[in-house]
Chain A
């Protein structure tokens, strides 16, 4: 509808950002449902999803750590995608410079910290190799998680930030 008004370049950037965001949201589903890592200790296998890890921390009496993991690994990736979606959705029509800019910057900055889980799993898989005694094996869930995080970051990067403070950019002509 508004494609005729927007410049082709901005349109392409917008659909790029949207497409990457949708892909990130898709990958978030297996990331949270599939096990991210299998811990093998003395022949016992224990595969766990992110939520399993949080529960296990809670049960072993570490509520603080459980809260950190819950926030960093479960809440923030979902919130990031939601915030970005809202920003993308509202910006061309209702530019709200201050709130949107702040939220966008926060999401952009926090993006790099979301790879923490991936690093933990990668380090454990590399370091915990004691044969039958203990072993950590990465599972498909962590790949999905990494993809979700990377796609979110790419999407935030693809978004044309100037839309945030140029109210008349885009479909401002629409009455």
Chain B
């Protein structure tokens, strides 16, 4: 006769797969959140105004992390920003990575970073090369305005005019360098302005190059000639800048730290100089 056979299987009912899968999935979620946690970095800034916990760190305009907390350094001299970078952005924390605070810039020559007016300041990062690192010195200005690499020169001028840090140095109206900090000379008769020429344009500067302040208008008004107005470019006119030219008989390459006189305007022949310089 037929017999109903109950089998006591060694294996538990397949329904126990549900808690098993739950354990695996929940464990994976927790692992994602805590154990493989984000890369934390410490960035020190001189000023931390506008920074708060939760402020994003952005790379190429995309958030890649955020500030966890802000502390003062032990000597109260600097601000230590503790930030965490997302896992996919860990590669941004390398030895030569640069961090800086992006803030709105509004001036006659235009406005930049206007999004920060609404969303507040944020920290931008430019990845560097080298070993992974977790402590960084924050920059006070974006890296493209940093006078840290390139040919450093000192211009000596009578007055500073509108040559603020971040303004540019032009060669044939092409921006080839940046103006850095300026200070009064020791005898207080001049102003010394630091400029940095980008490394690839450094060969354009020779010992006999001439620098002049190219901001402002050059107006010649003659009774018979009429008005003759010259300005190097509208942007230059509004923002201020320094131009330089090198004579036909170009001298030897200018060395780092060389001093040049900053003329208040260009002599006519300077603008006509067109030496052939192998600048590359």
| Residue positions of A touching B, CB distance < 8 A | 3-4, 8, 12, 15-16, 19-20, 22-23, 26-27, 29-30, 33-34, 42-46, 132, 140, 144, 147, 151
A33 B30 Cβ-Cβ under 8 A: yes
Against A, the Cβ 8 Å flags (1 = close, 0 = not) of B94-135 are 000000000000000000000000111010000000000000
When C-beta atoms are compared, the residue in chain B nearest to A3 turns out to be B8
* Residues of B4-26 whose CB lies within 8 A of A: 6, 8, 12-13, 15-16, 18-19, 21-23, 26
Known contacts A3-B8, A19-B13; is-contact A26 B119 (Cβ 8 Å)? no
Chain B contact patch, size range:
20 to 34
**9-residue interface stretch from B48-56, B161-169, B219-227, B239-247:** B48-56
Q: Which of A27, A43, A45, A140 has the most CB of B within 10 A?
A: A43
Chain A residues near B21: list those with CB within 8 A.
23
B228 at the interface (CB under 8 A from A): no
B33 at the interface (CB under 8 A from A): yes
B16 A26 Cβ-Cβ under 8 A: no
Q: Which of B6, B12, B19, B23 has the most CB of A within 10 A?
A: B19
> How distant is B84 from chain A, measured CB to nearest CB, in Å?
11
> How distant is B180 from chain A, measured CB to nearest CB, in Å?
31
Chain A residues near B19: list those with CB within 8 A.
19-20, 22-23, 26
Please pick, from B18, B55, B118, the residue contacting A23 in the complex, using a CB distance under 8 A.
Answer: B18
Chain A residues near B118: list those with CB within 8 A.
42-43, 132
Q: List 12 A-B contacts (CB under 8 A).
A: A12-B13, A15-B13, A19-B15, A19-B16, A22-B19, A23-B22, A26-B26, A30-B26, A34-B30, A44-B120, A147-B22, A151-B22
Interface majority SS (helix, strand, loop, mixed), chain A: helix
When C-beta atoms are compared, the residue in chain A nearest to B4 turns out to be A8
Please pick, from B8, B29, B52, the residue contacting A44 in the complex, using a CB distance under 8 A.
Answer: B52
Please pick, from A12, A26, A147, A151, the residue contacting B23 in the complex, using a CB distance under 8 A.
Answer: A26
Chain B residues near A3: list those with CB within 8 A.
8
Please pick, from A16, A34, A151, the residue contacting B33 in the complex, using a CB distance under 8 A.
Answer: A34
Q: How far is the CA of A140 from the CA of B22 in the complex (A)?
A: 14
Query: 3 nearest interchain CB pairs?
Result: A43-B119, A22-B19, A23-B19
When C-beta atoms are compared, the residue in chain A nearest to B15 turns out to be A19
A20 B56 Cβ-Cβ under 8 A: no
Q: How far is the CA of A29 from the CA of B25 in the complex (A)?
A: 12
Q: How far is the CA of A20 from the CA of B21 in the complex (A)?
A: 11
> How distant is B264 from chain A, measured CB to nearest CB, in Å?
45
B122 A19 Cβ-Cβ under 8 A: no
B29 A144 Cβ-Cβ under 8 A: yes
Known interface pairs A19-B19, A20-B19, A144-B29; 7 further A-B residue pairs with C-beta atoms within 8 A, sorted by A's residue number: A12-B13, A16-B13, A19-B15, A29-B30, A30-B30, A43-B122, A132-B119
Q: Which of B12, B52, B54, B120 has the most CB of A within 10 A?
A: B54
* Residues of B208-251 whose CB lies within 8 A of A: none
Q: How far is the CA of A129 from the CA of B269 in the complex (A)?
A: 62
> How distant is A9 from chain B, measured CB to nearest CB, in Å?
11
A45 B15 Cβ-Cβ under 8 A: no
Known contacts A3-B8, A19-B18; is-contact A42 B13 (Cβ 8 Å)? no
Q: How far is the CA of A22 from the CA of B15 in the complex (A)?
A: 11
Q: How far is the CA of A33 from the CA of B194 in the complex (A)?
A: 54
Q: How far is the CA of A8 from the CA of B18 in the complex (A)?
A: 20
When C-beta atoms are compared, the residue in chain A nearest to B66 turns out to be A45
When C-beta atoms are compared, the residue in chain B nearest to A147 turns out to be B22
A16 B30 Cβ-Cβ under 8 A: no
Q: How far is the CA of A3 from the CA of B8 in the complex (A)?
A: 8
